[in-house]
Amino acid sequence: MDAYKHILVAVDLSDDSALICHKAVEIALQSQSSILLVHVTEFIYQMSTSYDPLFYPSMEELAVDEEEILKLSQTKMNDLINALDVPGDINLNNKVLPGIPKTEIVRLAEENHSDLIVCGSHGRSGFELLLGSTANAILHHAPCDVLAVRTRKNRE
């Protein structure tokens, strides 16, 4: 098997993200790979059952909230990168973007010609049980190999 050259690492910015990143860095060091570290924020709006317009935020308010959440996510991403202390010989880029995680991760893997996706193997919410896990969706739609790293929650 050829060495991986372009690794996409998908993180949810939880405490387990560092564990997932360390595994990707190990692989990158062995194969002299580049890493694209990705966090996708999914915005889910809960609408009231009332049709009263007073209960609904305006589109401007939603846009401001999304912008603030993306800024906070980028700050957390920067903190994660700084904590990793990645060796200088690894080319590390990062992206924080809105969207549906499983869709955006697969799209970015295709766009960046990734030959490996590294992600965590846990779900974050009850929705995961109903809709299927992000890791499972990535595994079935990825254009490349996928490494699902067992997180601390799954090791207990």
pLDDT, one tens digit for every residue, the chain (156 residues) = 578 999 999 999 988 899 999 999 999 999 999 999 999 998 876 555 555 555 555 656 665 688 889 999 999 999 999 999 888 889 999 999 999 999 999 999 999 999 999 998 865 554 444 434 788 888 889 999 999 888 765 444
| CB distance 125 to 17 below 8 Å | no
* Cα distance between residue 40 and residue 99, in whole Å: 6
> Residue 59's pLDDT is what?
57
| CB distance 151 to 19 below 8 Å | yes
Find residue 93's DSSP bridge partners. Answer: 36
> Residue 131's pLDDT is what?
37
Burial class (CB in 10 A: 0-12, 13-18, 19+), 14: middle
Helix axes 59-84, 17-31, angle to 10 degrees: 60
Domain coordinates of the chain in residue numbers?
6-155
DSSP character at residue 48: P
* Cα distance between residue 114 and residue 117, in whole Å: 7
> Residue 130's pLDDT is what?
40
Domain at 6-155, CATH from 3.30.43.10, 3.20.20.70, 3.40.50.620, 3.40.190.80: 3.40.50.620
> Residue 135's pLDDT is what?
82
> Residue 150's pLDDT is what?
83
Instruction: Note the Cα 70 to chain centre separation in Å.
Output: 13
> Residue 133's pLDDT is what?
78
> Residue 142's pLDDT is what?
93
